[in-house]
Amino acid sequence: MTNKMWGGRFQSGPGEIMEKINASISFDQRLHAQDIAGSIAHATMLGECGIIPKADVREIVKGLKAIARDIEAGNFTFSTALEDIHMNVESALKDRVGAPAGRLHTARSRNDQVATDFKLYVRDCLDMFDAQLAGLQKVLAEKALKHAADIMPGFTHLQTAQPVTFGHHLLAYVEMLARDRSRFADARKRMNESPLGAAALAGTSFPIDRAMTAKALGFDRPTRNSLDSVADRDFVLEMLAAASICAMHLSRFAEELVIWSTPQFGFIKLSDQFTTGSSIMPQKKNPDAAELIRAKPGRILGAFTSLMIVMKGLPLTYSKDMQEDKEPAFDAIDNLSLAIAAMAGMAADMEPATARMAAAAGSGYSTATDLADWLVRVLAMPFREAHHVTGTLVARAEAAGIGLDQLSLGDMQSVEPRITRDVYSVLTPEASAGSRTSFGGTAPANVRREAKRWLKLLG
């Protein structure tokens, strides 16, 4: 049996393998809400433009809304033989309302239909990511405000560098997430043009009103070139590119949570909600949620790479290759959403071990730069000379197995006679962090101000 939706030219239906490889309903059924919304907008426009009778429009819209309710309630059977979400819905519509259903596909093609559906879906996902990321930012900003003055080591090369505050460290991720949100918002703005009405590739001879359907579906305007309208998947690629960067940011934070929660660091504690045990080692408390988040960029970037390779060699306009755009994208969307939710949970759940962090902040001669800055500021020494003097003092303290602040004044003066006892005032981690008052610096006053600013922005 041929497919009644398109099989007029064919004497028989597709073979079993063809049907299996051709069908997309197993995954594109998640576009049902967008497909029905697009069909309602299209039918309404056809009626307003006098292309189909308004009585038929009323039947079509009524039937589509009933189908939407059935799908949401789980009372709809999807058919592989009908290939995709578009034909499943249209077939169900015909069963419900009869002949008027046949008018719905006037002046459109599955090519512009799927592009519209997918744009609507991606747009909804971008809005979802924005809300989720704003929630994570708020969790981090609240924790940053609470821990604005708690000292921890700052790292370069994963080696102790300078003391910072825990709040300042958390706000670094708030900034990263802000850029992620900006990228998603930028992608949303650029993609918000409606392909509906481009038809198969060349437009249509019917006097349709594309601006009307664009407005009904919340688009800013219709797309301007029918060929590009059906051939474009940039909007998916942009979403996946931004999602890959966002996942990378989450992965970096996850890596830090993994490190910080080890007994060797002991900077944070994660509750039982986001950890698991070992089947053989009773003492283990593994940060599995963080480790899984750390792994997510692989599959999300993989989705971007997959679609980029699909699209790179396609001539205009639509080719069936483009059906491969959805499964990787859906997987990436689901996994990024899950990763953001898990990270928000862990961020809210984690408790910093502030005493342990503070003790670590003073290790590794982390106030050496403060000593060099003191030599420049108080003794008017050129920084390169101050750097050399400080390096000599660090080597002396290291040889003695003591901290810089434990060197005697005599030891210091044997290297630089002009050093006074005042130097010890800058050699504590608290003094070091507190002195970093430059814009964007780690001083507690800065952190409190920035955390409050973010919380006000986030509402």
Distance CA 179, CA 300 (A): 18
Instruction: Please name the amino acid found at residue 347.
Output: A
Distance CA 456, CA 138 (A): 10
Tell me how many degrees the CA angle 180-184-189 measures, rounded to the nearest 5: 145
**CB-based contact 180:242 (threshold 8 Å):** yes
Query: Known catalytic residue: 278?
Result: yes
Closest by CA position to 247, among listed 300, 326, 292 = 300
Among the options 157, 205, 279, 438, which is catalytic? 157
Provide the angle, in degrees to the nearest 10, between the axes of the packed helices 166-191 and 110-146. 160
Among the options 26, 271, 278, 363, which is catalytic? 278
**CB-based contact 114:194 (threshold 8 Å):** no
Distance CA 163, CA 172 (A): 15
Instruction: Please name the amino acid found at residue 281.
Output: M
Long-range residue pairs from 9-12, CB within 8 A, at least 24 positions apart, any chain:
none
Q: Sort strands 151-156 and 159-165 into parallel, antiparallel or unpaired.
A: antiparallel
Distance CA 446, CA 381 (A): 28
Query: Known catalytic residue: 157?
Result: yes
Distance CA 369, CA 386 (A): 9
Phi-psi region of 83 (alpha: psi -120 to 50; beta: other; left: phi over 0): left
Task: List the catalytic residues.
Answer: 157, 278
